[in-house]
Amino acid sequence: MSNPIVAFQGEPGAYSQEAAQTHFGSQVQTLACESFQAIFEAIRSGQATNGILPVENALAGTVAQTYELLMEYDFRVQGEVILPIHHNLMVPPGTALEDIQRVRSHPQALAQCAHYLRRRGWQPVASYDTAGAAQELAANPVLHTAVLASRLAAELYQLTILESSVEDEPHNSTRFFVLGTEDIAPTPGEPTKTSLVFTFRDRAGALFGCLSAFAQHNINLTKIESRPVRGRAWQYWFFLDFEGYWSEPAVEAALVELLRQATFVKILGSYPASNEGPKPA
């Protein structure tokens, strides 16, 4: 793809921007957006060619709003990025470790570093965004205050990293979807995945019938999760990831069988699989 413009949620230096650079290259042009929905609107309006959104975190689980927006807009998942999340303690130049009394960041980042902060005796202070906290501290240094954010944020806002990778769980990572307007043709021999959503009539064996379509064709499922259907109490969407591209004969056969069993099926996209991904379900 030539000269992509990738929309992401947050301030420059956000982990989503880091994921965009991981996928498209460090020189990719990015567009910061206030919300997840603004990413979809940026693609629809032509401001951006692509978007990148978190879909699940190894510790916090699924990002429900991303899936809701994938249902609302007709874009395609073109790729996935598994980004290790490393929180770094950063301060304005000249601030020493012993000067710190409070640490600002997004509530999720603070929670992921809770034991670290408690051991140090520092007060956690919630902010709307990790990179936003870094940007604000750089613009308006506050005495005795540090932030938790990405290494990219420290570089952009010229903050000093005092300690790196201070998260309590070393295996924390976030999975992102890369969005676009069209399907991406697979590279021969490259592992692929497909993501879709389906629902069915509530009857005995209905879910088994839907999933058995994949077992019959020896297709490995890597994720299944249910989400409530908005506005319809006690009814659910089922989101499914599996190995393979939608046009492969075995996958096509499984999808035909799924269509017989389900009342609704929407393919979100087929895309290259990340080398680092969730283990098979």
CATH number of the domain at 71, please. 3.40.190.10
Specify if 59 maps to a domain: yes
176 is annotated as an active-site residue: yes
pLDDT value, residue 145: 97
Q: Is 208 a catalytic residue?
A: no
DSSP assigned state of 171? T
Is 264 inside a domain boundary? Answer: yes
Does some domain include residue 279?
A: no
pLDDT (tens place) for every residue of the chain, 281 residues total: 568 999 999 999 999 999 999 999 999 999 999 999 999 999 999 999 999 999 998 888 889 899 999 999 999 999 999 999 999 999 999 999 999 999 999 998 999 999 999 999 999 999 999 999 999 999 999 999 999 999 999 999 999 999 999 999 988 899 999 999 999 888 888 999 999 999 998 888 889 999 999 999 999 999 999 988 877 777 889 999 999 999 999 999 999 999 999 999 999 999 999 865 444 33
Distance CA 119, CA 84 (A): 23
Total domains in the fold of the chain: 3
pLDDT given for residue 229 in this prediction: 83
- Spell out the residues 6+ positions from residue 270 whose beta carbon is closer than 8 angstroms to its own: 77, 183, 184, 186, 192, 193, 194, 244, 245, 246, 247
Q: Which one of the listed residues 49, 174, 194, 199 is annotated catalytic?
A: 174
Same domain, yes or no: 100 and 76: no
Do 95 and 50 share a structural domain? no
For residues 65 and 174, give the distance between their C-alpha atoms in angstroms, rounded to a whole number. 15
DSSP characters over 4-59: -EEEEESSTT-HHHHHHHHHH-TT-EEEEESSHHHHHHHHHHTS-SEEEEEEEETT
pLDDT at 281: 39
Residue 146: give the domain boundaries: 88-163
Catalytic: which of 8, 176, 177, 198? 176
Q: How many CA atoms lie within 13 A of 190 on its CB side?
A: 15
In the chain, how long is the greatest CA-to-CA distance? Answer: 66
pTM over 0.75: yes
Tell me: do 156 and 96 sit in the same domain. Answer: yes
